[in-house]
C-alpha cells in the first residue's frame, strides 16, 4: 500500500516537473522575444514604435490579469487544437504556458529597463547595430535580473500546475485532491505538500546560484 503511494507520489512529481518545465520552456522561448520587442519599441528606445508598444503592452496586461482558473477554461479550444484533447498532463501545458508568457515578457522588459542607458549610447557610439546592441549589450547586462524573474515564474507555475492538475492534468495537485482531500488521507496530502516545498526550494536554490554567477554588479 505505502509502496504504491510512494510510486504514485513519484509519478505525480514527475508529471508536475514535466508540466512546469515544458510550460516554462515555451513561455521563455516566446516571452523573451516578446519582452525584447516591448522594450525596444518603447518611445525613445532603439526601434521606437509607440503604437506597437502600446498594443503589445495592452495584450500582456490583459492576459496577466485573467485569473488562471478562468484562463484555463478560456484556452480550451486552443488546447484542443494544439494537443487534441483538453484534459491530461500534456493539455495542461497549454494554459500554463499562456499564463507564464506575459509574466516572462514583463520580466524581460523590466530587466532591460534596468540596464544603464549609457551602455546603449556607448554601443551606438561604437557603431553597433540595434541587433548587436540587444545581443551583446542589453541581454547580457540584464541576464541576472531575467534569471531571477524566471525563477519566480517557475515557482508560480508549480502553484498553477497544482490547479491544472486538480482538473485532470495529473501531477501533485491532482494527487493531493484525489487522495488527500476526497479520501481524507492527510498523510498523502502532507507528502504532496512536502514534495512541492522541496521543488520550490530546489528551483529557488539553483535560480539564485545561476543569477549570482552571471551577476558582477556586487562584490561576491
Partner 1 sequence: MQKQHEETMIALTGLSKQYDGLTALDSIHLQVKKAEIFGIIGKSGAGKSTLIRCVNLLEKPSQGTVIVNQQSLTTLSRHALRAARRKMGMIFQHFNLLSCRTVYDNIALPLEFCNMSKKAIAHAINPLIELTGLSDKKSNYPNELSGGQKQRVAIARALACKPTVLLSDEATSALDPETTHLILQLLKNIRDTLNLTILLITHEMSVIKACCDKVGILDKGKLVEQNEVGEFFAHPNTPIAKNFIVSSLPQTLPAAIADHVLVDERLNTHPVLRLWFFGDAATQPIVGQLINQFKLRINILQAQVESIKKHIMGILIVAVDGDKTQVTASIAYLKQLGIQVEVLGYVPNDIIPFA
Which residues bind to partner 1, rule: CB under 8 A? 116, 118-119, 121-129, 132, 136-137, 140-141, 143-144, 214-219
CA distance linking residue 32 with residue 34, whole number of Å: 5
* Shorter beta-carbon distance to partner 1: residue 70 or 214: 214
CA distance linking residue 72 with residue 102, whole number of Å: 15
CA distance linking residue 62 with residue 71, whole number of Å: 11
* Shorter beta-carbon distance to partner 1: residue 77 or 118: 118
SS3 category, 219 = coil
- Closest separation between CB of residue 143 and partner 1, Å? 7
CB neighbours of residue 217 within 10 Å: 8
What the block records as the C-alpha cell of 166 is: 486538480
- Closest separation between CB of residue 217 and partner 1, Å? 5
- Closest separation between CB of residue 151 and partner 1, Å? 18
- Closest separation between CB of residue 127 and partner 1, Å? 4
Nearest to 110 by CA among 34, 14, 1: 34
* Shorter beta-carbon distance to partner 1: residue 1 or 125: 125
* Shorter beta-carbon distance to partner 1: residue 2 or 217: 217
Listed in sequence order, the DSSP H helices in the chain are 2-40, 50-65, 68-74, 76-83, 89-114, 117-125, 130-132, 139-164, 171-175, 186-214
Using a 10 angstrom Cβ sphere, with 0-12 exposed, 13-18 middle and 19 or more buried, the burial of residue 220 is exposed
- Closest separation between CB of residue 90 and partner 1, Å? 37
* Shorter beta-carbon distance to partner 1: residue 45 or 156: 45
Sign of CA dihedral 129, 135, 136, 142: positive
* Shorter beta-carbon distance to partner 1: residue 55 or 119: 119
- Closest separation between CB of residue 214 and partner 1, Å? 7
Amino acid at each position: 500500500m505505502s509502496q504504491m503511494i510512494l510510486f504514485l507520489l513519484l509519478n505525480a512529481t514527475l508529471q508536475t516537473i514535466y508540466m512546469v518545465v515544458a510550460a516554462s520552456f515555451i513561455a521563455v522561448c516566446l516571452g523573451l522575444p516578446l519582452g525584447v520587442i516591448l522594450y525596444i519599441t518603447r518611445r525613445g528606445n532603439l526601434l521606437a514604435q509607440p503604437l506597437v508598444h502600446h498594443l503589445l503592452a495592452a495584450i500582456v496586461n490583459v492576459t496577466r490579469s485573467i485569473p488562471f482558473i478562468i484562463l484555463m477554461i478560456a484556452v480550451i479550444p486552443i488546447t484542443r487544437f494544439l494537443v487534441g484533447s483538453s484534459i491530461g498532463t500534456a493539455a495542461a501545458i497549454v494554459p500554463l504556458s499562456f499564463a507564464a508568457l506575459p509574466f516572462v515578457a514583463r520580466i524581460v522588459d523590466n530587466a532591460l529597463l534596468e540596464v544603464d542607458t549609457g551602455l546603449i549610447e556607448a554601443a551606438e557610439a561604437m557603431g553597433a547595430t540595434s541587433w548587436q546592441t540587444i545581443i551583446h549589450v542589453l541581454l547580457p547586462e540584464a541576464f541576472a535580473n531575467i534569471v531571477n524573474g524566471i525563477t519566480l515564474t517557475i515557482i508560480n507555475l508549480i502553484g498553477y500546475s497544482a490547479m491544472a492538475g486538480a482538473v485532470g492534468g495529473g501531477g501533485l495537485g491532482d494527487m493531493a485532491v484525489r487522495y488527500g482531500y476526497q479520501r481524507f488521507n492527510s498523510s498523502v496530502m502532507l507528502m504532496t505538500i512536502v514534495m512541492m516545498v522541496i521543488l520550490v526550494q530546489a528551483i529557488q536554490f539553483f535560480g539564485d546560484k545561476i543569477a549570482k554567477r552571471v551577476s558582477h554588479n556586487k562584490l561576491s
